Amino acid sequence: MTARAKTGEPRSGGQDSAIAKKTYRKTLHSLQVELVKLQRHFIACDDKILIILEGRDAAGKDGTIKRITQHLSPRETRVVALGKPSDRDRTCWYFQRYVPHLPAAQELVLFNRSWYNRAGVEHVMGFCSPAEHEAFMNSVLDFETMLIRSGVKLFKYYLDISRAEQKRRLEDRKADPLTQWKSSPIDGQALKYWKSYSAARDEMLARTHSPTSPWTLVHADDKRQARLNIIKDILDRLDYAHKDKRLTRPDRKIVFPCDASDLKAARLAV
C-alpha cells in the first residue's frame, strides 16, 4: 500500500503547496484536537452549528469536510450532500427539502453545497427559471435570518479556485479510480461555462452577503492551506473552553471576509 493510500492525502496541495506535508499533518492534528474541544463545548451548551461550503466543482469541499469531521463524534456531526431534486421537491417551497437536515441542539451540520445551488449550477445550467432564481435571491437572506434568530450559528464559505487548477483537478479525478465516482456530466460543463459561473458567483456574493449572514472567501488553489485555514477560521469565530489561541489565527490572505472590493479588485478567479 502506498503512502498516499494510507493517508488519503493528495500527492500535492494543488499548486506548489506553501506548507510541507509533515508540517501540514502536524498542524492538522493540533487543529483537530481543537475541534474536539469545540464539540465538547457546543454539546454542553446545546449549540446548533451550520457550516455551508460552496464553490466550483473540484474546489476542495469534500476534502475540507473530511478533515473537519474526521475525529468528531458521529452522533453529533452530520454531513448533508443532497442529490438533484425529485419531481415532488420541484413543487415544494424551495427551502423545504433542506429544512429537515438543519442542526438540532448539540449538533454540527456541514452542507456540501446547499440551497445556493439555485444561485450557481441551477442558474448557469438552466435548471431553474429566471423567475425562480430571482425569487431565491430575494428570499434567501430572510430565510437565513430566521435560522440565526432561532439560535443557529451559520457559517458560509466560498472556496475559490483558478481555471487552471480546476482543469487539473477534474483531469486527476477522472484518472484516479478512487475518485472517479465524483465525476458527473456537469463536470464536463464546468470549464466550458467558466465565465458564466464567475458571473453567477459574483452576483451571489453581492446579493446574499450581509452583516447578519456574511460570506467568508477562501483562496483554495492550495488544498492544504485552504483546509487548515478554514478550520482555523471556524475555531477563531466560536467561543469554547481551553482554546489554544496560538493555533486558531487564520491567514487572512487565504481566508477572509467577503467585501464588495473583492469583486471590483478581481481578488477572485475570473
- Per-residue pLDDT for 8 more than 50? no
Alpha-carbon distance 90 to 74, whole Å?
A: 31
Is-contact 50 109, C-beta < 8 A? yes
Backbone angles phi, psi at 50, to 5 degrees: -125, 120
CATH code of the domain made up of 17-84+93-264: 3.40.50.300
146-168 pLDDT tens trace: 999 999 999 999 999 999 999 99
What is the mean predicted confidence (pLDDT) over 119-125?
97
Among all chains, which residue has been given the C-alpha cell 460552496? Answer: 54
Domain boundaries, the chain: 17-84+93-264
- Per-residue pLDDT for 11 more than 70? no
Judged by average pLDDT, the poorest of 57-66, 105-114, 182-191, 245-254 is: 182-191
β-pairing verdict for 107-112 and 48-55: parallel
Q: Which spans in the chain are helix H?
A: 3-7, 21-44, 61-69, 87-91, 121-124, 130-149, 163-175, 187-190, 194-208, 223-237, 260-264
Is-contact 110 78, C-beta < 8 A? yes
Q: Which spans in 70-156 are helix H?
A: 87-91, 121-124, 130-149
Interacting residues of 22 by C-beta distance below 8 A, sequence separation 6+: none
Residues across the chain: 270
For 122, other C-beta atoms within 10 Å of its C-beta total: 20
- Per-residue pLDDT for 52 more than 80? yes
Among all chains, which residue has been given the C-alpha cell 463524534? Answer: 73
The reply to whether the predicted model has a pTM over 0.95 is no
- Per-residue pLDDT for 12 more than 50? no
Burial 185-208, CB ≥16 within 10 A → b, else e: eebebbeeebeebbebbebbbeeb
pLDDT of residue 183: 75
